[in-house]
């Protein structure tokens, strides 16, 4: 698809806005909202100009940016990757194709951890498979008594973590750690938090089109086992969690029964599921009383 004649590289706001409306084929309010986000983030143009100065001419290089972005949007490419930003738990995180885009239900995971552990007692937490770092960084900012380590096996994800640590001025430590490795982490924690991959690889063709642009390693499990990483996290917890420690996890509601059986096999002392804002069992807290 090409929305731009090679000779026509100077356009005003209204003409470009109308191209967005015609091309995206979505409700006008939604199309206009997207257009205003992009002129603000990509072109540094105040969106109010659409109403106050509709004939405001956009420079050639910005026209090309907007048309290129439109062509991506038509292919269901996430706008968050286009602008490299996503708001999460009151902070603006940098995101790119190397990390998952933070989602609202994950904010509920952060809120659960913070609400139960925001006290004057120092606690140590590790965020396993931290991706952008949105979970661990948000917890650290909301509950300074929690000393947070972000961990991931992907160097690309760790680079994003470092960007967000600096961007949000977070007091967190970042380490490279792979749950699949046999090497032990010589450190004990009071809290473990994770949103691990849980989609079997054979379900790859069933996910939404926009999700397909997100990193496969953060979405899919190996060996067609949706519980693969939960088992790894439990193994880690039994070796690295202090007595009375807790594990907070995001889960797929369709695997609640399978996860319950798994947790029972591991003799976990207390299991508490929690519904998300859609009423689905999306979160779980595991309490360990092991020595």
Statement to judge: residues 125 and 266 lie in one domain: yes
What is the pLDDT averaged over residues 75-103?
97
Statement to judge: residues 57 and 125 lie in one domain: no
Domain-located, residue 6: no
Q: What's the whole-number average pLDDT of the chain? A: 92
Q: pLDDT at residue 2 above 80? A: no
pLDDT at 8: 52
| 8 A C-beta contact, residue 161 and residue 97 | no
Statement to judge: residues 124 and 231 lie in one domain: yes
**Cα radius of gyration rounded to whole Å, the chain:** 22
Q: pLDDT at residue 12 above 80? A: yes
For residue 127, give its domain range: 97-288
Q: Which two tokens stand for residue 175?
A: 């380490």
pLDDT at 291: 52
pLDDT at 224: 78
**From CA 249, how far away is CA 263, in angstroms rounded?**
12
What is the pLDDT averaged over residues 245-269?
92
Statement to judge: residues 260 and 125 lie in one domain: yes
Statement to judge: residues 138 and 248 lie in one domain: yes
Q: pLDDT at residue 7 above 60? A: no
pLDDT at 1: 44
Kindly state the percentage of the chain with pLDDT values over 90: 78
Statement to judge: residues 17 and 137 lie in one domain: no
Q: pLDDT at residue 48 above 60? A: yes
Report the CATH number that the domain containing residue 256 is assigned in CATH. 3.40.50.150
DSSP 8-state symbol, 119: S
Kindly state the percentage of the chain with pLDDT values over 70: 96
Domain-located, residue 84: no
Q: pLDDT at residue 288 above 90? A: no
- Which residues lie closer than 8 Å to 233 by C-beta, 6 or more apart? 128, 179, 192, 194, 196, 247, 249
pLDDT at 148: 98
**From CA 256, how far away is CA 126, in angstroms rounded?**
24
Reported as a single tens digit per residue, the pLDDT across 155-205 is 999 999 999 999 999 999 999 999 888 677 889 999 999 999 988 887 777
Statement to judge: residues 32 and 134 lie in one domain: no
Statement to judge: residues 113 and 242 lie in one domain: yes
Statement to judge: residues 137 and 30 lie in one domain: no
What is this structure's pTM?
0.92
Q: How far is CA 243 from CA 127, 240, 269, 284, 288, in A?
A: 18, 10, 11, 18, 6
Domain-located, residue 112: yes
Number of Cβ within a 10 Å radius of residue 34: 18
Closest CA to 212 of 41, 97, 125, 112: 97
Domains of the chain: total: 2
Statement to judge: residues 195 and 275 lie in one domain: yes
Statement to judge: residues 70 and 177 lie in one domain: no
pLDDT at 57: 93
Statement to judge: residues 187 and 157 lie in one domain: yes
Q: pLDDT at residue 116 above 60? A: yes
HSE-CB of 48 using CA atoms within 13 angstroms: 0
Q: pLDDT at residue 65 above 90? A: yes
Sign of the C-alpha dihedral computed for residues 116, 117, 120 and 121 taken in this order: positive
Q: pLDDT at residue 96 above 90? A: yes
Q: pLDDT at residue 263 above 90? A: yes
């Amino acid at each position: 698809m090409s929305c731009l004649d090679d000779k026509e590289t100077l356009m005003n706001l209204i003409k470009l806005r109308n191209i967005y409306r015609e091309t995206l084929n979505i409700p006008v309010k939604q199309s206009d909202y997207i257009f205003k986000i992009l002129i603000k983030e990509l072109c540094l143009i105040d969106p109010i100009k659409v109403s106050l100065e509709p004939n405001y001419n956009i420079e050639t290089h910005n026209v090309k940016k907007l048309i290129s972005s439109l062509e991506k949007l038509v292919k269901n490419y996430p706008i968050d990757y286009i602008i490299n930003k996503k708001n999460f738990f009151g902070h603006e995180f940098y995101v790119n194709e190397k990390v998952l885009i933070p989602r609202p239900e994950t904010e509920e995971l952060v809120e659960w951890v913070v609400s139960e552990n925001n006290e004057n007692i120092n606690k140590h937490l590790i965020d396993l498979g931290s991706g952008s770092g949105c979970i661990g960084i948000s917890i650290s900012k909301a509950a300074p008594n929690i000393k947070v380590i972000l961990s991931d096996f992907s160097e690309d994800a760790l680079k994003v973590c470092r960007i967000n640590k600096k961007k949000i001025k977070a007091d967190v430590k970042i380490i490279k750690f792979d749950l699949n490795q046999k090497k032990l982490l010589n450190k004990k924690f009071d809290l473990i938090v994770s949103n691990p991959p849980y989609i079997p690889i054979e379900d790859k063709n069933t996910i939404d089109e926009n999700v397909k642009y997100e990193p496969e390693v953060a979405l899919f499990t190996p060996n067609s086992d949706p519980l693969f990483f939960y088992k790894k996290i439990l193994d880690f917890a039994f070796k690295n969690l202090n007595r009375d420690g807790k594990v907070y996890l995001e889960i797929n509601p369709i695997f609640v029964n399978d996860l319950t059986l798994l947790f029972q096999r591991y003799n976990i002392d207390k299991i508490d599921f929690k519904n998300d804002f859609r009423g689905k069992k999306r979160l779980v807290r595991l309490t360990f009383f092991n020595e």
